[in-house]
Amino acid sequence: MHTDEDLKDTVTAFLSNAKRNMGHALGIEFQVLTRNEVTATMPVNENTTQPFGLLHGGASVALGETICSVGAWLNVLKEGKSAVGLEINANHLRAVRTGTVTGRAIPIHRGRQTQVWQYDIYTEDEKRVCTGRCTLALINNKT
């Protein structure tokens, strides 16, 4: 996994101690964790498909919000803040039945109170499956 050098220990400790969550259930695995890019993979399987055997749009959106939220959090971590979703949209462009998809998120706006991140999800042969944008609120961590 690739991380910003000054974040590596913090991110590694956080991920290894994180409670089980939706990301675990969907099989999301982070590949790149930096302030400027987050990528993660997700399998297309019985946990992420809809009844017709296609990648569920909700699973794509869950992957998108996960990578955007983590990216925003990496930018406010040292300020004792977290990032939570305010709004997300998605355009589903292609059906996927098998394999693994990869999501990539990059920041569009990093303000003091909100961030906006763009995400794209691709098949193994780099065909775009979904594209979207996520707006996140930056909140103080509870102490």
Could you give the residue numbers annotated as active site? 65
DSSP structure class, residue 24 = H
- The count of C-alpha atoms lying within 13 angstroms of the C-alpha of 39, restricted to the half-sphere facing its C-beta, is 11
Coil, strand or helix at 40? strand
User: Which distant-in-sequence residues (6+ apart) come within 8 Å of 140 by Cβ?
Assistant: 80, 81, 82
> What is the distance between the alpha carbons of residues 29 and 42, in angstroms, rounded to a whole number?
7
DSSP 82-112: EEEEEEEEEEE-----SSEEEEEEEEEEE-S
